[in-house]
Amino acid sequence: MALEPQKLDLPREPGVYLFKNKSKKVLYVGKATDISSRVKSYFSPNPDRLMIPKLVENSEIIDYIVTTNPDEALILERELIRKHKPRYNSRLKDDKSYPLIALTNEEFPRIMYTRNPPKGSRIWGPFSNVGAAKQLIQLLRKQFGIRDKDCHGKDGCLSMQIGLCRGPCIDPDGYPNIVKIVTNILDGKGNQIIKELTKQMNNFSQKREYENAANQRDLIRAIQTTLSQRIITSRFYRECDAIGFASRGNLGIVTILHAKKGIVQGQQTWPLIHRGDLEDSICRFLSEYYSTNVPPSLILLPCNISDFLSNWLLKKRGSKVELRVPKRGKLIDLKNLADKNAKIKLEKDFKSSFGSLEKRSLNECANYLEIESLDHIVCFDMSQIQGDVRVGACISLKSGKPEKSEYRKFNVKGEQLDDIHMMIEVIGRWLKKQKKWPDLLLIDGGKTHLNYIFNLLKEHNLENKILIAALAKKEETLHRVDKEPLILDKRGRALIYARDEAHRFVNQFHRKSRQKNILKDPLENIEGLGAKKIQRLQRFFEGRKGLLNASVDDLCKVPGIGKSLAERIFEGLSNN
């Protein structure tokens, strides 16, 4: 049952609204200063977002939760999106994995890495680079001895003994200064410690203590990655954040460049699930990021955002926040730089998400079979039904992915009816046209198939150039020359995938070939019978039914049809 806007009874209050399907699954969560007016805008004949018609079509219920003010609505919206992960909402990828660094509000503050900081804590983050944030805490403890979450101020703790804590049990009077230094570093004023670490790294390098130098280098990177590093300067770059964006399918990347006092001080990148709505994705990031960070006086954006979020940013800062979509000048250069960084990170993440799994699977399989590489696999399979329509095919996998340009189909030309001799013919034809050999030639079959094809390779002097194996469906058993049969486990999934892909491809070809033969006119196979004579026969007998009932003598009455041809026509029609 479709939603009817005139029947909706919604309050004219701030809060959140939830579109749900008939199973009461949440499809979309939104916020509004006036729930009734905002929801009714979704039924406009000219919606401002592409996903709205599909959302409305798939929804049957609209629920709402009233809040006391718009700020509470924004917070509630974030929490509901995290909880329900709605289909039509953009959201940060695995947003629970972006924790905070917190400094507790105690007489002797402790530093901790957490998603739920204690009340009254001073917080930094959230951090998209989790490893760098953890490394920074370790660095701060090692360099300055600030207390961590496990320190309870008791004498003789392990951290004190190994020099990781200079808390109240060692130096209560000097501890406030430690807290001040750590706070400055977390506020982005870590230049002094970077200089000191750089000096130590150079000293270690000159002494050829390269392992120690590498450790210092990693510590420097931890600070620079988590906080900032100066890369560009311009008198036009006052206190501002430039937001860049790039997307490919459902994968989106938001990049934020920070500028202070004319200096661009580095970047952070955030992956998110993008639903095709740029404004929604950018607003989702802004509400997450600035929930724990003070907005700057200027934010450069890739698109305009709602007044709702603009007012929230103003309240978060406590003064005016200028939101600008730059079109020209130095600010567009900074915005373009943010976009460029987002595109670079997007391509890297896209290749990683689609390539790493296949590559890892191939490397695992190569180690499993104790061979050097499996980057290129060719797999053959045959198909027939009681000798009718005998075909073969091969597929090619490169880096674990189908290389469709190297897929091949073969119609069996010989008289052989068994799979083995059909495969010998097909692979023999394939060998004659190949210039480069795969890392593995895989065939669908057992030990007997393997022996016959190996002998074929010997005939072509290729037994030492092509590695061959046969994969039998029974228990997924792999047969190799001079090796015991191996029942594959998950490490051999790349070979199972290759065999299944070859099986799918040859069966698809076989079905099409059978259908083509079924549709083919049996008269076309009769020697001496061309298109004009077929047309003459059908006219003489007034259609196919009369032709099928004709005797040899009847066929001889057709002009141009002699007795021998009539007999062949009669026999051909009788067999079909």
pLDDT at 18 over 90: yes
**Tokens 């979020």, located at residue:** 309
Predicted confidence at residue 425, as pLDDT, reads 92
Predicted confidence at residue 266, as pLDDT, reads 64
More confident residue, 556 or 363: 556
Top-level class of domain 232-348: alpha beta
Predicted confidence at residue 450, as pLDDT, reads 94
- Helix boundaries (H) for 145-270: 158-161, 175-186, 191-206, 210-226
- Is the pTM value of this prediction over 0.85? no
Average pLDDT over residues 181-194: 73
Q: How confident is the model at residue 152 (pLDDT cuts 50, 70, 90)?
A: low
Name the superfamily (CATH) of residues 522-575.
5' to 3' exonuclease, C-terminal subdomain (1.10.150.20)
Q: Which of 131, 144, 334 is nearest to 226 (CA)?
A: 131
- 3-state SS string over 308-326? HHHHHHHHHHCCCCEEECC
Q: How confident is the model at residue 386 (pLDDT cuts 50, 70, 90)?
A: low
pLDDT in tens, 393-415: 999 998 888 899 999 999 888 77
Predicted confidence at residue 234, as pLDDT, reads 44
Name the superfamily (CATH) of residues 5-88.
GIY-YIG endonuclease (3.40.1440.10)
Predicted confidence at residue 381, as pLDDT, reads 92
Q: How confident is the model at residue 498 (pLDDT cuts 50, 70, 90)?
A: very high
pLDDT in tens, 310-338: 888 998 888 888 999 988 877 888 888 88
Provide the 3-class DSSP secondary structure of residue 397.
Answer: strand
Rounded distance, CA 36 to CA 15, Å? 10
Rounded distance, CA 285 to CA 291, Å? 10
Domains 376-518 and 522-575 share a fold: no
Predicted confidence at residue 248, as pLDDT, reads 83
Q: Is it true that domain 376-518 has CATH number 3.30.420.340? A: yes
Yes or no: say if 488 and 495 are a contact pair by the CB < 8 Å rule: yes
Average pLDDT over residues 136-148: 79
Sign of CA dihedral 564, 568, 570, 571: positive
Q: Which of 393, 397, 394, 395 is nearest to 361 (CA)?
A: 397
Sketch the domain layout of the chain as residue ranges: 5-88, 100-226, 232-348, 376-518, 522-575
CB-count burial class (<10 Å; 0-12, 13-18, 19+) for 114: middle
pLDDT at 63 over 70: yes
Average pLDDT over residues 87-93: 79
Rounded distance, CA 117 to CA 105, Å? 10
More confident residue, 109 or 218: 109
pLDDT at 170 over 70: yes
The percent of residues above 90 in pLDDT, for the chain, comes to 18
